[in-house]
């Protein structure tokens, strides 16, 4: 039996409401940076030897919304299931099938209408399917995992036409009083896949575990922005793993998919990256060493729409002529606490659904991935170096480390160090992006593991300086103990 499948139709469905950043400026001004005046003459940190993630992040440190411009949002009276059904019905019709002709439906819904399983059975009922429909989930890589599942099922000869429906309803999983809500949007998409000749359709699929990103997010049952009880998404204790693993995950997964397909990355005509942040496409481009004009960044259009992004990128690229029949396209997504996946497809005559409503205030040029040149560091000459800190007596270190912390905070927050004090709580001052960058900076300089929770809540520079002093003392004590003679050596277990 033929093991290859092609995407016969691709559709998207988004809510009518487009929410811009002005919504939070008007309704939640307290979430915007306060107690400091941003200064444009302070350059973001982007040293020549900075890693790929930090270079890609740097241009967004001056933006409180971190590159988010618009997001499509379901109103309280609207249903995510209705959007899924809209996309599914159009995909079936474009493939010139009837609901009865669909052999199987794979549904992935991230943050569905209510806590618990997804909408599979309800979608099957409302669309009029006669086949089984079940839920499948792998966070942001769900669409690609569903494609691999469909390919395997069709290869078995048991199924011929499979419907895949993917959705993300981030507005269900957040409260508008939390700045995390700025980065989440709503949307759905659908595909019909069927068998084709082996040299067409899907050429390879590479899926890898993403266990290093476990606890990058945490979830709690609480009231959301629509007045409903739902699982709300929060930044987890291991959020830094998303930055630490991004480059290696993209490289290994994409290169493996290319090897399996018998092609090189230079043969790929278009790259469709999942873009959970404004800088993620740039990270992937830098990691793979590819041309920027072979990818798009739709994050400013939709903010984070999770597993729907691969479909949205494919649809947009095909519509604007970046992806044409016969082209090779590599689709990549990294699902936190789930899997990373890369799929290489020989694009065919895929039927596209109704185009999404255009953005309110974005141009087509803003879909392109800009190239930001590294900038020189501009730090205060009074900022102590790590060597100077180590050379000071332990009793004087807290003050020196506090000065060091305030200097770096000023760089990351784009403000003057004089606007910050050691007792200013990090909560409301430092978001997850700044926390991750500061944590990486401290661990690089101090060679000490710093828990991410040190940068949130009521913690402040003074407390963090005290923590670092304690860890430095223990580190020096261990070094001293291990350099003593064998006769007097004392082993210290922490």
213/436: higher pLDDT: 213
Stretch 145-166: mean pLDDT: 96
Stretch 327-331: mean pLDDT: 98
Q: Examine the fold and report which residue of 367, 394, 424 is the final residue of a domain before the chain moves on.
A: 367
Task: Tell me if 420 is assigned to some domain.
Answer: yes
> Would you state the pLDDT for residue 34?
45
Same domain? For 395 and 359 the reply is no
Same domain? For 21 and 115 the reply is yes
Stretch 122-149: mean pLDDT: 96
pLDDT at residue 488 greater than cutoff 50: no
Task: Tell me if 488 is assigned to some domain.
Answer: no
Among 113-122, 187-196, 339-348, 445-454, the least confident range: 445-454
pLDDT at residue 29 greater than cutoff 60: yes
User: 459 with 426: CB under 8 angstroms?
Assistant: yes
Same domain? For 326 and 361 the reply is yes
Same domain? For 294 and 404 the reply is no
Task: Tell me if 373 is assigned to some domain.
Answer: no
Task: Tell me if 95 is assigned to some domain.
Answer: yes
Could you tell me the residue range of the domain that residue 109 belongs to? Answer: 4-367
For residue 491, what pLDDT band results from cuts at 50, 70 and 90? very low
Buried b (16+ CB within 10 A) or exposed e, 222-245: eebbbeeebbbbebbebbbbbbbb
> Would you state the pLDDT for residue 32?
72
CATH number, domain of 414, equals 1.10.1200.10
Same domain? For 432 and 311 the reply is no
Pairwise CA distance, residues 145 & 170, whole Å: 20
Same domain? For 348 and 421 the reply is no
Same domain? For 299 and 185 the reply is yes
For residue 44, what pLDDT band results from cuts at 50, 70 and 90? very low
Per-residue pLDDT of 233-274, as tens digits, reads 888 888 888 888 999 999 999 999 999 999 999 999 999 999
For residue 57, what pLDDT band results from cuts at 50, 70 and 90? confident
Q: Examine the fold and report which residue of 333, 367, 401 is the final residue of a domain before the chain moves on.
A: 367
Same domain? For 224 and 362 the reply is yes
pLDDT at residue 46 greater than cutoff 50: no
Same domain? For 399 and 350 the reply is no
Task: Tell me if 492 is assigned to some domain.
Answer: no
Task: Tell me if 493 is assigned to some domain.
Answer: no
Indicate the pTM of the whole model: 0.82
Task: Tell me if 297 is assigned to some domain.
Answer: yes
Pairwise CA distance, residues 10 & 92, whole Å: 9
User: 72 with 186: CB under 8 angstroms?
Assistant: yes
Same domain? For 317 and 193 the reply is yes
Among 29-43, 142-156, 222-236, 459-473, the least confident range: 29-43
> Would you state the pLDDT for residue 382?
57
Among 3-12, 16-25, 35-44, 188-197, the least confident range: 35-44
Number of compact structural domains in the chain: 2
Distances (CA, A) of 422 to 190, 385, 399, 441, 461: 51, 18, 10, 18, 5
Same domain? For 280 and 323 the reply is yes
């Amino acid at each position: 039996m033929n093991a290859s499948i092609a995407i016969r139709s691709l559709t998207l469905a988004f809510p009518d409401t487009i929410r811009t950043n002005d919504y939070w400026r008007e309704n939640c001004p307290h979430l915007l940076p306060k107690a400091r005046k941003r200064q444009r003459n302070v350059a973001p940190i982007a040293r020549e030897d900075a890693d790929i993630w930090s270079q890609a992040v740097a241009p967004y440190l001056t933006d409180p919304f971190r590159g988010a411009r618009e997001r499509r949002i379901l109103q309280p009276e609207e249903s995510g299931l209705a959007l899924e059904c809209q996309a599914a019905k159009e995909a079936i019709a474009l493939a010139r099938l009837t609901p009865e002709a669909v052999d199987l439906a794979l549904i992935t819904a991230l943050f569905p209408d209510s806590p618990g399983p997804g909408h599979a059975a309800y979608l099957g009922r409302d669309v009029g399917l006669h086949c089984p429909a079940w839920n499948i989930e792998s966070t942001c890589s769900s669409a690609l995992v569903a494609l691999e599942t469909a390919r395997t099922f069709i290869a078995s000869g048991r199924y011929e036409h499979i419907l895949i429906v993917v959705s993300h309803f981030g507005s269900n999983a957040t409260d508008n009083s939390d700045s995390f809500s700025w980065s989440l949007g709503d949307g759905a998409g659908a595909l019909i896949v069927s068998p084709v000749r082996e040299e067409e359709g899907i050429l390879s699929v590479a899926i890898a575990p993403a266990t290093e990103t476990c606890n990058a997010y945490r979830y709690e049952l609480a009231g959301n922005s629509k007045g409903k009880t739902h699982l709300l998404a929060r930044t987890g204790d291991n959020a830094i793993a998303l930055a630490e693993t991004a480059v290696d995950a993209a490289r290994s997964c994409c290169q493996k998919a290319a090897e399996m397909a018998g092609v090189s990355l230079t043969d790929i005509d278009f790259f469709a990256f999942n873009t959970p942040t404004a800088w993620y496409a740039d990270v992937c481009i830098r990691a793979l060493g590819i041309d920027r004009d072979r990818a798009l960044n739709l994050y400013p259009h939709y903010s984070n729409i999770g597993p729907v992004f691969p479909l949205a990128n494919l649809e947009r690229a095909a519509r604007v002529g970046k992806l044409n029949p016969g082209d090779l396209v590599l689709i990549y997504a990294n699902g936190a606490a789930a899997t990373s996946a890369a799929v290489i497809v020989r694009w065919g005559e895929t039927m596209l659904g109704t185009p999404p409503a255009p953005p309110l205030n974005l141009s087509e040029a803003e879909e392109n991935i800009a190239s930001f040149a590294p900038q020189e560091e501009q730090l205060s000459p009074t900022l102590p170096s790590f060597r100077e800190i180590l050379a000071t007596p332990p009793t004087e270190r807290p003050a020196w480390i506090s000065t060091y912390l305030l200097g770096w905070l000023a760089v990351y927050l784009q403000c003057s160090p004089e606007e910050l004090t050691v007792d200013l709580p990090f909560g409301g001052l430092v978001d997850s992006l700044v926390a991750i960058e500061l944590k990486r900076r401290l661990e690089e300089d101090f060679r000490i593991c710093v828990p991410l929770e040190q940068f949130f809540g009521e913690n402040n520079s003074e407390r963090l300086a005290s923590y670092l002093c304690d860890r430095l003392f223990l580190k020096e004590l261990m070094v001293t103990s291990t350099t003593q003679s064998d006769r007097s050596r004392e082993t210290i277990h922490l």
